[in-house]
Structure 1
Amino acid sequence: MSEQTGGAADGTAYLAAIGTALPGEAVTNAVLAKTLGVNEEWIEVFIGTRTRHFARDLNTGEIRHSLADLCAQAAERALAEPGVDASEVDFVVMGTATPDTLMPATVNHVADALGLDQVPTFQLQSGCAGAVQALATARSMIASGEYRTGLVIGGDVCSKHLDVKRDLKDAAPSDLVNFVLFGDGAGAAVVTDRPVGRRVALRRVLNRFTGLGSKPGQVIEWFGLADRYDDRQALREDYKAIEERVPVMATEILWELLGELDWDADDLTYLLPPQLSGRMTKKITEELDVPGATEISCVADTGNNGNALPFLQIEKLFEKMATGEKALAVAVESSKWIKAGFALEKV
């Protein structure tokens, strides 16, 4: 753990390193369709995602990787990058919608696996905005001047809701979506108070609840001993509401962030759009209409693995980003409608 003496003079936080982890081999639409007994063409046309990765064996249901396993792998890869030392980590913040257990918090299993001790840990319970909320928390901690280096993690294991034994022949399309849309994965970033390693400044983070009076677009139930056998669906999604609202919210996020930064759309070299599905991401990117920016997307190959997605996008971004270039990421959480996003600049 580094000495907690002074953060960045201007409160800027920097992304120094990135790491990701995807479990097992990629599962194609053909394999998924055969296993679930659904139409492969429907997956390709309606969802637009080609492959995804699962922490469970698709045939037996056996758990091969826990969320803690994947997050620790991603963090180890980030901490192994040049310019980063695990002994300097002052805190850990993690965002997830699918923790391994309610207690202990999964973040503490991850810290244990990394050999970290005597550091503050935080776990934020959230969907697609959780990773952004974790970045916002880390940025605030760095700006406080009390901490110099933090580890930010995001990940989800959505396959815990994938019942391969269920007969889906009569399932409604709205129900089938949940079986073909999601995947599993994790990502991690090292955040510092100084430009080291990748030297990418985190210029802005947006995180705002905007769902006052609105019905949830997605619900994931938690079942205790008293109610685990009732007839509630574990996972419900209002795909029509998501399809209608997310593109509008994404456009609002883009222009709100640009306005706060005093950037023009032409200043952007890269755009990281919301990663709902291959089809939805394409639609949203077209509506965002930033033709001068290169799109950085991954969902068509990874599936929607929730809080891992921003890190997977950042990893691809870092392969391309040059000094002086700017990038803007947009994320929308449909569970209760949260606007999120962040802006990056390589220095």
Structure 2
Amino acid sequence: MSCHPDRHVSILATGAHLPGDPLDNDDLARVTGPLPDDVLEGIQVKRRHWMVDPATGEHRTSTSQMATAAARQALERAGVEADEIDLIVVSTASPDHLLPVAGTYVQEQLGLESVAVIEVRAGCVGAVQALDIARRQLADGTYRTALVIGVEAVSPLLAPIFLGLDPHRVRMRDRLTVYTFGDGAGAVVLRAGEEGSAHEASRQVFATASMGGRRKPGMLIVGGGTDAPLAEQQRRKRLMDIKLDIPGTASFGPRVFVRGIHDMLERSGLSLADIDACVLPEGNAEYFAGEYGTAGLSQQDQAILSKNIVENLTDVGATGSAAVPLALDAGWSEGRVRPGHTVLLLAIEASRYLYAGLTFTWEAPCPGK
């Protein structure tokens, strides 16, 4: 353990990658049938990007290739060469292979012979957890420059739901799953400054918890694991499948969010009024925000929060590990996250009803400035 004062850790830049052309709701209606207008309004996803061709199911890229594309943009914006990176931390629930981990393929594609690689197997909360892992290792002097990536490819699980079927014969609950998710990658470059340069104004606070220990999973990805003999898995209708507890996530998800935000505010000593940008990827979704009051968030705090949420769900869909870095990249690129802003990253994950939060002061000027 380092006996020196913590180094100040800064985010230098972000990057993003969305595969292919956007698919709007009319595009999906043609391959998997339509959703009622009120349901579309509730999930608020109008466009998403998929790594698979929705007509054929063909893979047009891979998880690690999306991660590398986002990383290259972040590195270019930061003015950092790939060989300056000494730590890569990747979060994903959809790697190219179970082993080697996806981060080693990013390493290979960036041309790095030797670099520290850590991988977090998670959904939405994973990128925030990965950022904190990297931040701590930079702060204590273990490494100096880190690349953190959240990446997800959900469409390979979605295509088998409708491929080869009459779109109007796809079950409504399956359509809802298909319309909800998108693929993509977001990347963040972090660098440590000199020893003792950390200051109170930039104090970074982290918290995470799983609240679903006594509940059935809100989201379950079945297949490819060790829950059953492989021969038994191969006899299933679909080798891999994604299952959602939609009523459970709608009712319990907001409680996870409210617990998470109260935890973060208590640990940081901040109030919601002190937060300039709350990066919460699904924070404005009707099914979610409509339950804030029931979950314990005051009307006053809801009013404050509504003004500083940074999210891009409408344009990218629910993107798992990529959600927070994609929303952060959009916020920074569009000027909603600016130097001097107090930023709260807050991810909510339905799998076991987890949250992960991180607060810090933003320092990087807008891209191109």
C-alpha separation in 2, matches of 1:258 and 1:26 = 36
C-alpha separation in 2, matches of 1:26 and 1:276 = 22
The Cα of 1:68 is off from its aligned counterpart by 0.9
C-alpha separation in 1, matches of 2:214 and 2:66 = 36
C-alpha separation in 1, matches of 2:262 and 2:340 = 21
* Residue in structure 1 matched with residue 234 of structure 2 by the alignment: 228
Change over 3 Å in CA distance of 1:311–1:83 after alignment to 2: same
The Cα of 1:47 is off from its aligned counterpart by 2.2
C-alpha separation in 2, matches of 1:309 and 1:262 = 26
Change over 3 Å in CA distance of 1:276–1:228 after alignment to 2: farther
Partners of 2:277 and 2:309 within 8 A in 1: yes
* Residue in structure 2 matched with residue 111 of structure 1 by the alignment: 107
Q: Aligned pair 1:303/2:303, yes or no?
A: no
The Cα of 1:243 is off from its aligned counterpart by 0.5
What TM-score do the two structures reach when normalised by structure 1?
0.89
The Cα of 1:84 is off from its aligned counterpart by 2.4
Change over 3 Å in CA distance of 1:149–1:47 after alignment to 2: same
Quick one: which of 3, 19, 25 aligns to 1:23?
A: 19
SS at the partner of 1:64? coil
Cα-Cα RMSD: 2.5
C-alpha separation in 2, matches of 1:144 and 1:178 = 42
* Residue in structure 2 matched with residue 271 of structure 1 by the alignment: 278
C-alpha separation in 1, matches of 2:242 and 2:88 = 29
SS at the partner of 1:310? helix
Quick one: which of 142, 149, 155 aligns to 1:146?
A: 142
Provide the identity percentage. Answer: 29
User: 1:173-231: per-residue Cα shift (whole Å, max 9, x none)?
Assistant: 43332111001000111111129xxxx95722222222222211110012374222224
Letter in 2 for 1:88: E
| Aligned residue runs from structure 1 range 162-241, under 5 A | 162=158, 163=160, 164-165=162-163, 166-167=165-166, 169-194=168-193, 203-223=204-224, 225-226=230-231, 227-231=233-237, 234-241=241-248
Partners of 2:310 and 2:331 within 8 A in 1: yes
The Cα of 1:282 is off from its aligned counterpart by 4.5
Letter in 2 for 1:237: L
Letter in 1 for 2:282: Q
Partners of 1:174 and 1:238 within 8 A in 2: no
C-alpha separation in 2, matches of 1:276 and 1:240 = 17
C-alpha separation in 1, matches of 2:79 and 2:20 = 29
SS at the partner of 2:112? coil
C-alpha separation in 1, matches of 2:291 and 2:202 = 26
Letter in 2 for 1:230: R
The Cα of 1:106 is off from its aligned counterpart by 1.5
Partners of 2:51 and 2:62 within 8 A in 1: yes
Letter in 2 for 1:333: E
* Residue in structure 1 matched with residue 127 of structure 2 by the alignment: 131
The Cα of 1:256 is off from its aligned counterpart by 1.3
Indicate the larger mover: 328-337 or 292-301: 292-301
* Residue in structure 1 matched with residue 153 of structure 2 by the alignment: 157
Aligned length: 338
Change over 3 Å in CA distance of 1:7–1:13 after alignment to 2: farther
* Residue in structure 1 matched with residue 304 of structure 2 by the alignment: 291
C-alpha separation in 2, matches of 1:28 and 1:201 = 40
SS at the partner of 1:193? strand
* Residue in structure 2 matched with residue 3 of structure 1 by the alignment: none
Indicate the larger mover: 19-28 or 264-273: 264-273
C-alpha separation in 1, matches of 2:7 and 2:78 = 23
Q: Would you tell me which structure has more helix in proportion to its own residues?
A: 2
C-alpha separation in 1, matches of 2:4 and 2:17 = 30
Letter in 2 for 1:228: Q
* Residue in structure 2 matched with residue 36 of structure 1 by the alignment: 32
Quick one: which of 325, 331, 350 aligns to 1:334?
A: 350
Indicate the larger mover: 39-48 or 11-20: 39-48
C-alpha separation in 2, matches of 1:259 and 1:282 = 21
Letter in 1 for 2:259: E
* Residue in structure 2 matched with residue 316 of structure 1 by the alignment: 330
| Aligned residue runs from structure 1 range 60-75, under 5 A | 60-75=56-71
Partners of 1:250 and 1:284 within 8 A in 2: no
The Cα of 1:114 is off from its aligned counterpart by 0.7
The Cα of 1:8 is off from its aligned counterpart by 8.6
The Cα of 1:311 is off from its aligned counterpart by 1.0
Partners of 2:152 and 2:183 within 8 A in 1: yes
